[in-house]
Chains A and B, each alone.
Chain A
Amino acid sequence: MQTMVGMKKSQMRIQQMAFMILAVFFFFTLVGLFLLQVFLGEMRTSAQEREREQVLNILESFSQLPEFSCSERSSFCIDEDKIFVMKIEEINQLYSEFWPISSIRIFKIGGNFSTLKECPSLGCNYYKVYENPEQTQQMEYSSYVSICKKIKDSQEYVYNFCELGKISIGMKIKS
């Protein structure tokens, strides 16, 4: 009879200890998961911040890229002829994924800007230079520029014909 009581007491203690160990284990696991969540949140914010900085830097220097700039010494000036060339499929495909961005759109904001009409077409006012088809979410940053092209007039004088424009660059958002 005494042996039975002793055995029951021991079993009870083992059970108590097992529950205690499990509780401690779950407690630390929960603390770990909470810390991991905080850490991942910070990481996500930091990654988004870096992407945003990158897009802003590209936006700042965009009009000086040889692929778009009016000339080697101009700033905030985009060459309209180069925009047309960059839209040629052969060249456009070469540049897909070259810059770490999701889209490039260039708007002519002089004249009628109430309705958007894609170029090249009569009375058009915007160019869709590049758009990543896999990017469903968009966050765009814009800057004002001049859109110019070289013209030779009837007196053989060569000048830059410019219009007011806006470039809009999409940031890559990781889903």
Chain B
Amino acid sequence: MKKGDFNFVWLFAILAGSAILVLMIYAAVRTGTTIKFYQDTELTKQVSVFLDPMQAGFVSSSKGVLSSKREIVFDSFCDSSNFGYQKLSAKQIRGLNEDFNILGEEITIKDKYIYFSKEPSKKFYFFSIPINFGFKVTDVLIIDSREFCFLEGYEDLPSFKTHISVLGDKAIFGEDNCTKNSIKVCFNYGTKCDITIISDCIESWCDDKYEKGFVIKEGERIDYVGNFLYPAIFSDKEIYECNLKRILYKAGVLSLIYKEKSERMSSRNCPTNLEDTLIELRNVCFNSKNIDEIYSISKLLKELEERTQCKLWSE
């Protein structure tokens, strides 16, 4: 064998071998990323399916827990046109570099209103809260993992402790029990509060002190009425406002459905006389979207429906 002959064969083998090795490593990395992307997408879909039974029901609220071996982070894009939608995505953090930790495919959800914290965690608490505008509009879903400490004042809200207790040991009541990491939630006043709930109620208008008001957090003001207090506490302003618009649209469509139903009942000699108020509610939900005005009409609707013999939505 000549010296040059030996060199050429080895050179060819090394070049071809390296090319194959590089290709295989690239394929392995790509496959790994794809599998992770698929697993994260499946996780998002599983969460979406898991939330289904929590959403509709006649119970006042429902709850659930999601646990994972790895930390999970949720993200979403929200669109508020008409019924709108939320594109929910999740990722499991695997402790590798950031490029590997990309979010899974977004799952488009049109029939749910999800409020969540963007903090990564291995354990998330889920609970649903009903939203009523005279009649029931929907259940909103809240996903959180953070520890909250509710200072004195929550007693003025009759169902507050019951609803919040679904957070288990992540819900602490009373300043003395607060831990260093817990998010301090104050009612009407307080020092070193992360979140402050301010009542804006006129006594004759409200059934309880915190039925209407606003929440201050991270220097921003979030107005609420009724059970919108819970999303206002747990969600960021952007998701809150987007979902509020979607819910108002749904309330408008439902007032149209009840108006049509009322007309059908009237034709069977079972009048409700709620048509005008329902049209008014629909118009405000679709046009001005003034939450105070909507809530006033809703309260009026509820009172009128209670008085009528032919019920539209209650028993």
Chain B 1-46 interface residues, beta-carbon cutoff 8 Å to A: 1-2, 5, 8-9, 12-13, 16-17, 20, 24, 27, 31, 35, 38, 42, 45-46
Could you say which residues of chain B place their CB within 8 Å of the CB of A21? 16-17, 20
Chain A 106-161 interface residues, beta-carbon cutoff 8 Å to B: 149-152, 156, 158
A150 lies within 8 A of B57 (CB): no
B260 lies within 8 A of A10 (CB): no
**Contacts A50-B49, A100-B111 given; does A150 touch B254 at CB 8 Å:** no
What distance in Å separates the Cβ of A86 from its nearest Cβ neighbour in chain B? 7
Could you say which residues of chain B place their CB within 8 Å of the CB of A28? 20, 24
Bound: A88/B261 CA distance, A: 11
Tally of contacts, chain A with chain B, CB under 8 A? 125
A58 within 8 A of B: yes
Q: Which of B1, B31, B82, B136 has the largest number of chain A CB atoms within 10 A?
A: B136
B270 lies within 8 A of A71 (CB): no
Could you say which residues of chain B place their CB within 8 Å of the CB of A151? 268, 270
Bound: A6/B4 CA distance, A: 11
B74 within 8 A of A: no
Segment of B170-178, B185-193, B292-300, B307-315 engaged in the interface with chain A? B307-315
**Which partner residue on chain A sits nearest B16 by CB separation?**
A21
Could you say which residues of chain A place their CB within 8 Å of the CB of B42? 46, 50
A158 lies within 8 A of B135 (CB): no
**Contacts A17-B12, A152-B269 given; does A91 touch B57 at CB 8 Å:** no
B280 within 8 A of A: no
Interface residues contributed by chain A, number (CB under 8 Å): 53
Bound: A14/B15 CA distance, A: 13
A64 lies within 8 A of B5 (CB): no
Selected from B8, B31, B49, B136, the residue in CB contact (under 8 A) with A72 is B136
**Which partner residue on chain B sits nearest A32 by CB separation?**
B27
Chain A 11-36 interface residues, beta-carbon cutoff 8 Å to B: 13-14, 17-18, 21, 24-25, 28, 32, 35
A75 lies within 8 A of B58 (CB): yes
Interface residues contributed by chain B, number (CB under 8 Å): 51
A150 lies within 8 A of B56 (CB): no
B168 within 8 A of A: no
What distance in Å separates the Cβ of B262 from its nearest Cβ neighbour in chain A? 9
**Contacts A61-B57, A84-B264 given; does A25 touch B310 at CB 8 Å:** no
A-B contact pairs, 17 of them (CB 8 A): A14-B8, A14-B12, A18-B16, A21-B20, A43-B38, A47-B45, A54-B52, A57-B53, A75-B58, A81-B264, A81-B265, A84-B264, A85-B257, A91-B256, A98-B111, A149-B268, A150-B311
Interface residues of B (CB under 8 A from A): 1-2, 5, 8-9, 12-13, 16-17, 20, 24, 27, 31, 35, 38, 42, 45-46, 48-49, 52-53, 55-58, 82-83, 110-111, 135-138, 253-254, 256-257, 260-261, 264-265, 268-270, 309-311, 313-315
Interface residues of A (CB under 8 A from B): 6, 9-10, 13-14, 17-18, 21, 24-25, 28, 32, 35, 39, 43, 46-47, 50, 53-54, 57-58, 60-62, 64-67, 71-75, 79, 81-82, 84-86, 88, 91, 94, 97-100, 149-152, 156, 158
A-B residue pairs, 3 tightest by C-beta: A57-B52, A61-B56, A152-B270
Known: A6-B5, A35-B31, A54-B48. 20 other contacts (CB 8 A): A17-B16, A28-B24, A39-B38, A46-B42, A57-B49, A57-B52, A58-B52, A64-B57, A66-B137, A81-B264, A85-B264, A91-B260, A94-B83, A98-B83, A98-B111, A150-B310, A151-B268, A152-B268, A152-B269, A158-B310
